[in-house]
């Protein structure tokens, strides 16, 4: 990902501690909201996963119990195939690739000595040092927001595909049931 400077040197020199704290607070709220959206996608995926496993069990039971009823066997096979595809997508494309870029860093990632040496060499002290540290942190948050949004976009596309597969499978099953019912009614009427 291309690193871009969101706060110019001129702005860094003009910012005060209170203003930079306000910007930091807003950026952290934005990142927190995006992480919440990402977590909701995962929660919904687990709910759909549970439902699909339940449906898959039902189709397996129908397939096992029905002998001679080709429509129910066909419905079960279609349902099982669609369920396996949706399970694969949920597991491989939505749940397992779930990466959250949180606000903040581990202490080992802070590079305190490097930053302190840099600020000493540039003779940046006091509030200006604080402003520069927060400005750098804001840029890190900006990058994390962008990464989270891209992750959400991809996962949302795949979740939508799962819902479409479920919808079309239900439509196919309903069409088979209607066709079987119509054939049965027609056979009874002409018998």
pTM of the model: 0.75
DSSP 99: -
Which position has the token pair 């291309």? 2
- Closest among 163, 159, 36, 10 to 100, alpha carbons compared: 36
Give the N- to C-terminal CA distance of the chain in Å, as an integer: 71
Could you give the 3-state DSSP secondary structure of residue 14?
Answer: helix
Please give the DSSP secondary-structure letter assigned to residue 108. G
pLDDT truncated to tens, each residue of the chain (191 aa)?
Answer: 455 677 888 888 888 888 888 988 999 999 999 989 988 998 999 999 899 888 888 888 877 777 777 888 888 888 889 889 998 898 888 888 767 777 777 777 777 788 788 888 888 888 888 888 888 889 888 988 999 999 999 999 999 999 999 999 999 988 888 887 777 666 667 76
Residue 162: what pLDDT? 92
For residue 141, the tally of other CB atoms under 10 A from its CB is 23
Tokens 């099953």 belong to 173
């Amino acid at each position: 990902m291309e690193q871009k400077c969101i706060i110019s040197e001129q702005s860094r020199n003009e910012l005060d501690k209170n203003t930079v704290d306000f910007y930091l607070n807003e950026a952290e709220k934005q990142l927190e909201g995006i992480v919440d959206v990402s977590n909701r996608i995962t929660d919904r995926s687990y709910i759909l996963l549970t439902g699909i496993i339940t449906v898959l069990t039902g189709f397996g039971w129908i397939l096992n119990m029905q002998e001679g009823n080709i429509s129910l066997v066909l419905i079960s096979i279609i349902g099982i195939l669609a369920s396996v595809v949706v399970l694969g997508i949920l597991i491989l494309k939505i749940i397992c690739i779930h990466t959250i870029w949180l606000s903040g860093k581990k202490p080992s990632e802070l590079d305190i000595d490097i930053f302190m040496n840099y600020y000493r060499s540039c003779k940046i002290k006091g509030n200006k040092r604080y402003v520069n540290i927060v400005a750098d942190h804001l840029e890190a948050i900006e990058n994390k927001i962008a990464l989270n949004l891209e992750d959400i976009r991809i996962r949302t596309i795949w979740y939508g595909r799962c819902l479409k597969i479920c919808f079309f499978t239900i439509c196919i099953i309903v069409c088979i049931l209607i066709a079987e019912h119509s054939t049965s009614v027609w056979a009874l009427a002409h018998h």
